């Protein structure tokens, strides 16, 4: 473990983000840093910690359950339901238009927010503690490589946050063998607890953006392009 890190339990981290703090936490893709996406000073603090290069760009936002999208997506987005049902929870981020006033700090200049439902129960619990919307950008300075393990987390970056959840999330089952409820877990979100340990996380999520009536592939990642092309037509590659 990297010396000098402020280590938090999942419960402590949930309390931090619920009170406008920012924490570093595991997801099934990369290690993330985040806080309440509906609090402008939280978004500003994360932008400053990252180095300011995110100004004007949308933040990735984790939701705690699928139903959150119905409250925030503006207009009709063809194919959104198909993509969500097929790949959530999991490694697919979907940037869609929103005019929800609570998410203005996470929006980009184009009025879109990039949403994802994580398969990692720690991330879902944190999202629930924020009222359903958790900023989730990679835990590194802009221009630097994101950490694959806690050992590669930059302590200087970690010092700008309120702590780190040093855990691997494993699904917890009850005696009947079914998923036991986790704090804040919602529809589509995994129920879990956290078990001490570390895990390499080196693959970013795949990112699609809905623009001008069509889906555009912005970043290839955890979900292969072939699987997406079977569901929705899209253009490929960043602008």
Higher pLDDT, 231 or 57: 231
> What is the reported pLDDT for 194?
42
Residue 111 CA from chain centroid, whole number: 18
Instruction: Decide if 120 contacts 190 (C-beta within 8 A).
Output: yes
- Model's pTM, two decimal places? 0.83
Side-chain half-sphere CA neighbours of 203 within 13 A: 12
Could you tell me where the DSSP H helices lie in the chain? 10-18, 40-50, 68-72, 80-87, 121-129, 155-158, 225-229
pLDDT at 168 over 70: no
Percentage of the residues of the chain whose pLDDT score is greater than 70: 80
pLDDT band of residue 86 (cuts 50, 70, 90) is: very high
- Position 178 scores a pLDDT of 30
**DSSP β-bridge partners for residue 84:** none
In terms of Cβ atoms closer than 10 Å to its own Cβ (0-12, 13-18, 19+), residue 213 is: exposed
Q: How many CB atoms lie within 10 A of CB 47?
A: 20
DSSP secondary structure letter of residue 185: -
Model confidence at 166, in pLDDT bands (50, 70, 90)? confident
Rounded distance between C-alpha atoms, residue 119 and residue 98, angstroms: 23
Note the pLDDT tens digit of each residue in 112-160: 999 999 999 999 999 999 999 999 999 999 989 998 888 889 999 999 9
The pLDDT tens digits for 196-207 are: 344 445 688 999
Tell me how crowded residue 201 is: count the other CB atoms within 10 A of its CB. Answer: 21
CA-to-CA distance for 27 and 24, rounded, in angstroms?
10
Domain topology for 10-76+105-204: DHBP synthase (3.90.870)
Token pair for residue 69? 């999208």
Please give the pLDDT value at position 180: 34
Q: Give bridge partners of residue 168 from the DSSP assignment.
A: 195
Residues in the chain: 239
Q: What is the mean pLDDT of the chain?
A: 83
Q: Which position has the token pair 């999991």?
A: 90
Asked whether the beta carbons of 51 and 40 are under 8 A apart, the reply is no
Average pLDDT in the 214-236 region?
90
* CA–CA separation, 239 and 236 (whole Å): 9
Q: Does the bond joining 135 to the residue before it have cis omega, within 30 degrees of 0?
A: no
């Amino acid at each position: 473990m990297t010396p000098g890190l402020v280590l938090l339990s999942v419960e402590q981290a949930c309390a931090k983000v619920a009170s406008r703090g920012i924490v570093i936490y595991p997801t099934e893709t990369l290690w993330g840093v985040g806080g309440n996406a509906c609090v402008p000073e939280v978004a500003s603090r994360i932008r400053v910690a990252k180095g300011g290069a995110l100004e004007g760009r949308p933040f990735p936002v984790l939701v705690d359950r699928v139903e959150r999208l119905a409250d925030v997506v503006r207009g009709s987005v063809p194919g959104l339901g198909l993509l969500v049902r097929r790949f959530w929870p999991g490694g697919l981020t979907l940037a869609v238009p929103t005019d929800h006033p609570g998410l203005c700090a996470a929006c980009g200049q184009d009025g879109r927010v990039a949403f994802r439902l994580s398969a990692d129960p720690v991330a879902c619990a944190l999202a629930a503690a924020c009222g359903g919307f958790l900023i989730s950008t990679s835990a590194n300075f802009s221009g630097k490589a994101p950490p694959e393990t806690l050992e590669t987390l930059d302590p200087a970056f970690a010092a700008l946050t309120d702590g780190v959840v040093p855990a691997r999330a494993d699904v917890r089952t009850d005696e009947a063998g079914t998923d036991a409820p986790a704090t804040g877990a919602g529809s589509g979100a995994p129920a879990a607890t956290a078990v001490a340990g570390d895990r390499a996380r080196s693959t970013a999520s795949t990112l699609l953006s809905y623009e001008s009536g069509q889906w555009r592939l912005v970043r290839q990642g955890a979900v292969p392009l072939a699987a997406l092309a079977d569901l929705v037509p899209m253009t490929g590659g960043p602008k």
